[in-house]
Structure 1
Amino acid sequence: MIKAYAAFESGGKLQPFEYDPGPLGEHDVEIAIEHCGICHSDLSMLYNNWGITRYPFVPGHEIIGTIAAKGVHVNNLAVGQRVGLGWHSGYCMTCHNCMSGDHNLCAQSESTIVGRHGGFADKVRADAASVVALPDSLNAQSAGPLFCGGITVFNPLLQFDVPPTAKVAVIGIGGLGHIALQFLRAWGCRVTAFTSSDDKKKEALALGAHDVLDTKNPTELAAAANRFDLILTTVNVKLDWNAYIATLRPKGRLHFLGVPLESVDINVFPLIASQRSVSGSPVGSPTGIATMLRFAEQHKIEPIIEVFRFDQVNEALTRLASGKTKYRIVLSNQ
């Protein structure tokens, strides 16, 4: 039996819950969980904001643990090895995207917390193809958020071949943005943070930003016209997107990582006139995650976290919902 914490209704408090996972699949592994990050996607699923949640619902998709058991056809992982598991828990392994290395775009991919039980538990199961070994020198306690938030902001660097000479801005210095600043600075880019918070200016500079622009000041935005090659937006609120597009250089890109709660209102002419682009991306593939982990290891990058025990899960969710977290929350079994 697997011991977990589950909600039994939309927005319900998480309660102790046990379930029988059945026989271990031939291509699956069972992970003994040490730590599990909490993501805003867990909150969205808890409240069934996307209309796909099944109850009882066990959240958790930023998982760090060790292999407790493996299927007979699993040869790439060893019992006792420390690994991580993110948003995806399996792929079809036969479609064009999977065969091209873009597993994260597989239409038949399985999500760790959609239609199955996630990592707010003592153990979790997943297809071995979705599980990535954790480099020995990475901090296991803080590494969980890299498997969702981290790869979300790292993936565009790989997908768009962002050069180290690029001028890149980040909108929103929170759970995603604070990791993005660290990655971009280490990548070699000229990094700018957009923030409306005076308190976050010093934090953004400490995290790697070369410059900080006050989004409440229209003069600063106007002065940044035609400056950036890439803007990563991590927020879920409505902004004046046309003002940000005006800060892009010709062929620049506004890239969505956060999901705004309202429709995006964009004037097309500035896109056409300067050949600018608007795009978005999800988490990355297993190989992308592995590359990100090696990069984080090399440059000593890690998320800034607050730690709660697993039995404090409801307190942790309340803390996340408050918007006061600095900057990610991790549940720990240790």
Structure 2
Amino acid sequence: MRTVDAYAATSATEPLIKTTIERRDVGAKDVRIDIAYAGICHSDIHTVKEEWGQVTYPLVVGHEIVGVVAEVGSEVTKHAVGDRVGVGCMVNSCRKCENCLAGEENYCLEGNVGTYGAVDRDGTITQGGYSTEVVVDEDFVLRVPESIPYEAAAPLLCAGITTYSPLHHWNVGEGTKVAVVGMGGLGHMAVKIAVAMGAEVTVLSQTLAKQDDSLRYGAKAHFATKDEATFETLARTFDVIINTVSAKLPIDAYLGLLRRNGSLVNVGAPAEPLSLNVFNLLGGRRSFSGSMIGGIRETQEMLDFCAEHGIAPEIELIEAARVNEAYERVLSSDVRYRFVIDAATI
């Protein structure tokens, strides 16, 4: 076991504190990574506040991780010391169910092992990326292309794949009209990726405050959802709507924006249930769906796609000691568009 520095939550109400945690010894198939950067995802905040369920404290969160391979096990073939790599939202799965065998470990029928807050293969609770090191099975370690700016790469491991996966699955491309609901950490990545896929993109945000950003990232239009006229103007317009908002929204209103055969896909994960009128599905053979990250194969595909198209998240790099301030700013939507912790400051 190795003792490493980290920032951990000790309860649902107290600030995160600097502490130490134990990392397992490197096994035959393991990779030990010196963490360089860790993104702050809204999921981290939901988790530490127990908004998605009970938590075992102390807990180190963070599932947007990039770093350098420092040590490999005797049977590792996919990565070598010195490689620039990443770790996303999961670190293991059953490897044998139909979903895992299809390369979609994110939908493992036995439940994938989350990067933090899950029961690891040794029976301990997984601890995430707000730390200086992590040990991960080589099959769940990604190659990070050199052309992606190092400090900006981490959010791709959650925000990037969470938006790429549904856009890819619903065949977004030339001639597709896409709306992105919410212009935050997930939303701005959805815009950049959908534009690179060839879609015509519209941003639906509460106000026009981020309109300039939307247009700069390639969107054709930006509408304020606080303006009721928006839902009349855009009725029956879109083939795909990606909802990135982790809050309760009037789903029926957004379903009305879909064309025949259109799909509204939820990637945001609100703590409270959503409701809808089924007749808003029947009338246009519309679909309301959900999507959660992606498998390892698709995540690597996303990283390579972003490298090819020059896509990177917009970030604000912070010292680890500012993590609690960053949480408050995320909750007040005061970040454009992802905080990233410099792990050298932990």
Instruction: Spell out, residue by residue over 1:164-188, the C-alpha distance to the aligned partner (whole angstroms, 9 max, x if none).
Output: 2110001100111011111111110
Kept after mapping to 1: 8 A contact 2:208/2:222 = no
Kept after mapping to 1: 8 A contact 2:173/2:194 = no
Residue 263 of structure 1, CA deviation:
2.4
Kept after mapping to 2: 8 A contact 1:91/1:129 = no
Matched, 1:82 2:92: no
May I ask how many residue pairs the two structures share in their alignment?
Answer: 334
Out of 290, 304, 310, which is 1:300 matched to? Answer: 310
Out of 174, 181, 185, which is 2:184 matched to? Answer: 174
Kept after mapping to 2: 8 A contact 1:84/1:132 = yes
Where does residue 23 of structure 1 map in the other structure? 25
Kept after mapping to 2: 8 A contact 1:84/1:133 = yes
Residue aligned with 1:16, SS: strand
1:56-205 correspondence to structure 2 within 5 Å: 56-106=58-108, 107-114=110-117, 115-205=125-215
Aligned partners of 1:20, 1:219: CA distance in 2, in Å? 55
Aligned partners of 1:212, 1:16: CA distance in 2, in Å? 41
Where does residue 268 of structure 1 map in the other structure? 278
Aligned partners of 1:38, 1:214: CA distance in 2, in Å? 26
Residue 135 of structure 1, CA deviation:
0.4
Kept after mapping to 2: 8 A contact 1:37/1:144 = yes
Instruction: Spell out, residue by residue over 1:90-146, the C-alpha distance to the aligned partner (whole angstroms, 9 max, x if none).
Output: 122111111111111113311011131111111012121111010011111011000
Aligned partners of 2:314, 2:274: CA distance in 1, in Å? 30
Residue 253 of structure 1, CA deviation:
0.3
Where does residue 46 of structure 1 map in the other structure? 48
Aligned partners of 1:93, 1:263: CA distance in 2, in Å? 31
1:205-220 correspondence to structure 2 within 5 Å: 205-220=215-230
1:234-245 correspondence to structure 2 within 5 Å: 234-245=244-255
CA separation of 1:50/1:196 partners in 2, compared to 1, >3 Å: closer, same or farther?
A: closer
Where does residue 121 of structure 2 map in the other structure? none
Kept after mapping to 1: 8 A contact 2:52/2:271 = no
Where does residue 122 of structure 2 map in the other structure? none
Residue aligned with 2:106, SS: helix
Taking structure 2 as the reference length, the TM-score comes to 0.93
CA separation of 1:317/1:214 partners in 2, compared to 1, >3 Å: closer, same or farther?
A: closer
Aligned partners of 1:127, 1:91: CA distance in 2, in Å? 10
Residue 10 of structure 1, CA deviation:
1.9
Where does residue 318 of structure 1 map in the other structure? 328
Letter of the structure 2 residue corresponding to residue 9 of structure 1: S
Aligned identity (percent) is 38
Out of 278, 284, 299, which is 1:289 matched to? Answer: 299
Aligned partners of 2:265, 2:91: CA distance in 1, in Å? 25
Aligned partners of 1:182, 1:217: CA distance in 2, in Å? 25
Where does residue 6 of structure 2 map in the other structure? 4
Kept after mapping to 2: 8 A contact 1:91/1:130 = no
Deviates more, 1:14-23 or 1:118-127: 14-23
Aligned partners of 2:281, 2:10: CA distance in 1, in Å? 46
Residue aligned with 2:23, SS: coil
Structure 2 alignment gaps of length 5 or more:
118-124
Instruction: Spell out, residue by residue over 1:203-252, the C-alpha distance to the aligned partner (whole angstroms, 9 max, x if none).
Output: 21112210122212222311222110000001122222212111111110
Kept after mapping to 2: 8 A contact 1:152/1:281 = yes
Structure 1 alignment gaps of length 5 or more:
none
Kept after mapping to 2: 8 A contact 1:166/1:190 = yes
Letter of the structure 2 residue corresponding to residue 103 of structure 1: E
Residue aligned with 2:283, SS: helix
Aligned partners of 1:264, 1:193: CA distance in 2, in Å? 21
Letter of the structure 2 residue corresponding to residue 60 of structure 1: G
Residue 27 of structure 1, CA deviation:
1.9
Aligned partners of 1:213, 1:187: CA distance in 2, in Å? 21
Residue 74 of structure 1, CA deviation:
1.4
Taking structure 1 as the reference length, the TM-score comes to 0.96
Aligned partners of 2:100, 2:187: CA distance in 1, in Å? 28
